[in-house]
């Protein structure tokens, strides 16, 4: 293979930015460019939190960083990818490079009459409507919907949250914490309607409740927070393997050796052929970017920890690591009124997942145990007096 002299990154979200930053951090001195219609890379988690309520900084790096690190940012949209040559087309200009990294993320699933929240511009527009006394209807009570509900309440907005599931987030955090989190909405004055919208417009939303009753709710703004769609047209037209995301190996390689994909757009196929779910969280986008930069430079891959995400609502810090959705049982720990942990053990007693509210260091310790598939006695997990960080010494690694 010829030495790598140039890399074009398509998409300057966290995943694309991390590829560029890690290429430089690992000593690559060839050409690095990022193409994105939104210009300089920025971070998304604050968009539903501090950026909505105040003035959070979004930039992933100060503008001088790009000059200092010779990373060219081209403001434009890539409209074509040439499979053979590593070329991309931006606004009529063909850019050739030795490798292309697709990091185009996804777009929120739209709802007629509703707004979405994915970009800084979306957040700016939403923020303008969030005034004291205003009425906001949020469709979808998952992570982003709940965060916006919480932010809007701090701004004095009346919020109605609508979801077809009575208690959302059970697969992500387990039933106990999902019920606790759900109760927070009411506690903070958010009206929850179990149902789906049947009509939106004219300053109101009509919700069909699960019991068939129709409820009319005032709505200056309706926000759809009903999941992400990935657009793989660019990849498919270049002949790349696509299956609910661009299919990659654990180093981000697509079916074309000169083209990689990272972040929310990518879906990893494990060596045994299993197609994993796409990551849609901050850390997985960052780790994808790091792994791909290393792979481009021929460096060994780092071991990947079990997947983790966080979310914030009503002053509560929610985290989950590994998976809570395997057959087995949940062990629950309450350490004081403000901190709760749920541990998931599979049917062989191995720790597969941990979800927490204000869980602090215990969740990070659990992550290490999950990585080892450690078998942990439920009584230790349940007991708030037992330090999870010390449990590693009393456990055995799982066999599977
Ligand atoms: C409001 C919000 C809150 C979130 N909060 C959390 C949280 O609390 N915790 C957590 O773990 N995760 C959170 N996430 C998820 C996390 O931010 C995403 O997983 C992460 O941003 C994915 O990064 P990405 O680079 O793959 O995609 P993106 O960040 O979507 O970036 C993709 C970029 O590609 C560009 N692009 C698209 N098409 C083209 C094209 N044809 N040519 C050139 N460029 C293109 C887009 O303009 C965009 O800038 C949140 C996400 C949102 C939207």
Is residue 345 included in any domain, yes or no? yes
Q: CATH no. for residue 194?
A: 3.50.50.60
Beta carbon of 151 within 6 Å of any ligand 1 atom: no
pLDDT of 3: 85
Instruction: Give yes or no: residues 65 and 100 share one domain.
Output: yes
Q: In this structure, are 243 and 336 located in the same domain?
A: no
State yes or no: pLDDT of 394 exceeds 60: no
Which residue in 119, 167, 121 sits closest to 141, CA to CA? 167
Query: Mind listing the pLDDT tens digit for each residue in 185-209?
Result: 999 999 999 999 999 999 999 999 9
At which of 261, 296, 331 does a domain end? Answer: 296
Residue 67 counted as domain residue: yes
| Domain region containing 248 | 6-106+230-296
Same domain? 325 vs 391: yes
pLDDT value for 48: 98
Tens-digit pLDDT profile for residues 288-335: 999 999 999 999 988 999 999 999 999 999 999 999 999 999 999 988
In a domain, 305, yes or no: no
The number of the ligand 1 atom at minimal distance from the alpha carbon of 16 is 25
286: Cβ below 6 Å to ligand 1?
A: no
Looking at the predicted structure, is the pLDDT value of residue 399 above 70? no
Is 140 close to ligand 1, i.e. is its CB under 6 Å away? Answer: no
Structural domains in the chain (count):
3
> Is residue 84's pLDDT more than 80?
no
Report the atom number in ligand 1 closest to the C-alpha of 308.
11
Domain final residue, candidates 224, 255, 272: 224
> 220 with 234, same domain?
no
Distance 391 CA to ligand 1 centre (A): 36
pLDDT in tens, 106-122: 999 999 999 999 999 99
Q: Are residues 93 and 175 in the same domain?
A: no
Q: Are residue 25 and residue 77 in the same domain, yes or no?
A: yes
> Given a cut of 60, is residue 153 above it in pLDDT?
yes
Residues 14 and 82 reside in one and the same domain: yes
Of 171, 200, 224, the domain-final residue: 224
* One domain, residues 148 and 210: yes
Q: For 32-67, what is each residue's pLDDT tens digit?
A: 999 999 999 999 999 999 999 987 999 999 999 999
Residue 118 CA, ligand 1 centroid: distance in Å: 7
Indicate whether 337 pLDDT > 80.
no
Task: State the average pLDDT for the chain.
Answer: 94
Supply the residue whose CA is at minimum distance from atom 6 of ligand 1.
45
Ligand 1 binding pocket includes 282 (Cβ within 6 Å): yes
Residue 176 and residue 144 in one domain: yes
Residue 306 lies inside a defined structural domain of this protein: no
In this prediction, residue 400 has a pLDDT band, given cuts at 50, 70 and 90, of very low
Question: Residue 75: inside a domain, yes or no?
Answer: yes
72 falls within a domain = yes
Is there a single domain that holds both residue 219 and residue 147?
A: yes
Give domain status of residue 302, yes or no: no
């Amino acid at each position: 293979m010829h030495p790598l002299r140039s890399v074009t990154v398509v998409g300057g979200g966290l995943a694309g930015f991390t590829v560029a930053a890690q290429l430089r951090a690992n000593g690559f001195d060839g050409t690095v460019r990022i193409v994105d219609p939104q210009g300089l890379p920025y971070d998304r988690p604050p968009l539903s939190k501090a950026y909505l309520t105040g003035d959070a900084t979004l930039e992933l790096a100060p503008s001088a960083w790009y000059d200092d690190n010779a990373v060219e940012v081209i403001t434009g949209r890539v409209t074509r990818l040439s499979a053979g040559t590593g070329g991309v087309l931006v606004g009529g200009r063909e850019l050739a490079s030795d490798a292309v990294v697709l990091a185009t993320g996804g777009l929120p699933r739209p709802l007629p009459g509703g707004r979405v929240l994915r970009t800084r511009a979306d957040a700016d527009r939403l923020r303008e409507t969030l005034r004291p006394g205003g009425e906001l209807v949020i469709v979808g009570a998952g992570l982003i919907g709940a965060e916006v509900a919480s932010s809007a309440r701090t701004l004095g907005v009346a919020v109605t949250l609508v979801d077809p599931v009575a208690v959302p987030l059970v697969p992500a955090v387990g039933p106990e914490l999902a019920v606790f989190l759900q109760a927070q909405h009411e506690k903070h004055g958010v009206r929850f309607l179990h149902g789906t919208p049947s009509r939106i417009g004219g300053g109101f939303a009509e919700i069909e409740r699960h019991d068939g009753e129709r409820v009319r709710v005032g709505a200056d703004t309706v926000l759809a927070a009903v999941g992400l769609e990935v657009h793989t047209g660019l990849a498919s037209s270049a002949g790349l393997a696509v299956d609910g995301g661009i299919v990659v190996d654990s180093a981000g390689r697509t079916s074309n050796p000169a083209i990689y994909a990272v972040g929310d757009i990518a879906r990893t196929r494990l060596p045994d052929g299993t197609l994993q779910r796409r990551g849609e969280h901050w850390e997985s986008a960052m780790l994808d970017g790091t792994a791909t930069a290393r792979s481009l430079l021929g460096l060994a891959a780092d071991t990947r920890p079990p997947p983790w995400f966080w979310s914030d609502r009503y002053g509560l810090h929610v985290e989950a690591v590994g998976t809570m959705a395997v057959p087995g049982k949940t062990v629950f720990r309450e350490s004081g009124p403000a901190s709760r942990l749920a541990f998931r053990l599979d049917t062989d007693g191995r720790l597969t997942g941990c979800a927490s509210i204000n869980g602090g260091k215990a969740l990070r310790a659990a992550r290490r145990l999950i990585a080892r598939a450690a078998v942990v006695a439920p009584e230790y997990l349940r007991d708030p007096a037992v330090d999870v960080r010390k449990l590693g010494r009393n456990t055995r690694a799982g066999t599977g």
